[in-house]
Structure 1
Amino acid sequence: MFTLLPNEMELSMRYLGKNGKTRLERMFHTGLDSIDDEQIEQAETRAGTKIDRLEGSGIPESLEGLWQDIKLLYSMIRDSILGRYKLPYRTIAAVSFTLLYFVNPFDLIPDIIPVVGYIDDAFVVTLCIKFIGTDLEKYRKWIRNGKKSDN
């Protein structure tokens, strides 16, 4: 899971502020109820495009944990869409919302601001990972088993 060093986490949370965190939590939980099949497809397509683009440009070391989490969420939704891995709809909705938030350059903190622009993305990814915890662990186990076990 994405982790910042203690000083980075403290600075990040201070930058986001209590109101920002509350707003993001509300957006996340409200967003789960509004995700439809078209948005699920968009999340997979748009996240794949952004991941490919960013992968070639190099990821700052301080964002490597976040980057790995985003790629895992992308892989999870892709395997679900392709019918390789079954997920509960709420998990699909949470991952889709998170990926759509990630691809939006003009979210709470615009991504054009180097490193700082990903603080809100990191917070939403963290919310998602906590929300889908058990399903994410099962998915990781499925990957470790060579994507062969039943789920």
Structure 2
Amino acid sequence: MNKNYFSRALLLFNLFKNRTLKQDDIAQAENKALHLEGKSNDFKLLIAMVKDTLAGNYKMDKWNMSVIIATIIYVISPIDAIPDIVPILGWLDDASIVGYAISKLADEISRYKKYKSQFSKIDF
């Protein structure tokens, strides 16, 4: 592994490890979702999962929650592997992080979709 990439990854880890997710961060994440093109809906799903969990409507284990929070913080952070000021490439690394999180959270996402489907079956 290139030493420069490792140093940058370590710097990012140290910046993000103690950061908490705030309502402003969630709003900013929802705005950033527009730039993720093919991963936009996946990222919106992660945001919905975190919102429902923080509101106490859905239970998720701490590890899965931490993966989602780290993904959101990475996407909204101006400091990442390829800064967002670099058009297209800056959003491409964010989209790949979202894709990675989605692949790691497949079981949790399936449970969440079952949970959400309970509400769509209500007839009025």
Shared fold (TM-score greater than 0.5)? Answer: yes
1:77–1:95 Cα contact (<8 Å) kept = yes
- Determine the structure 1 residue equivalent to 2:118: 145
Q: Once the 2 structures are TM-superposed, how far is the Cα of residue 49 of structure 1 from its aligned partner?
A: 2.8
Match of 1:111 among 84, 89, 95: 84
Using the size of structure 2 for normalisation, the TM-score is: 0.74
Higher relative contact order (CA 8 A, sep 6+): 1
Q: Once the 2 structures are TM-superposed, how far is the Cα of residue 54 of structure 1 from its aligned partner?
A: 4.7
Q: Once the 2 structures are TM-superposed, how far is the Cα of residue 110 of structure 1 from its aligned partner?
A: 0.7
- Determine the structure 1 residue equivalent to 2:70: 97
Q: Once the 2 structures are TM-superposed, how far is the Cα of residue 106 of structure 1 from its aligned partner?
A: 2.3
- Distance in 2 (alpha carbons) for counterparts of 1:87 and 1:147: 21
Whichever residue aligns with residue 73 of structure 2, its letter is L
Structure 1's 81 and 105: CA in aligned 2 closer, same or farther, altered over 3 A? same
Which whole-Å deviations, capped at 9, do the CAs of 1:93-113 have from their partners, x for residues lacking one?
000000000101221001112
Q: What is the percent sequence identity of the aligned residues? A: 27
- Determine the structure 2 residue equivalent to 1:67: 40
Using the size of structure 1 for normalisation, the TM-score is: 0.62
Q: Is there any run of 5+ residues in structure 1 with no aligned partner, and where?
A: 1-17
Give the secondary structure class of the aligned counterpart of 2:71: helix
Q: Is there any run of 5+ residues in structure 2 with no aligned partner, and where?
A: none
- Determine the structure 1 residue equivalent to 2:59: 86
Whichever residue aligns with residue 85 of structure 1, its letter is Y
Mapping 1:1-151, distance limit 5 Å: 39=20, 41-42=21-22, 45-51=24-30, 53-54=31-32, 59=34, 63-146=36-119
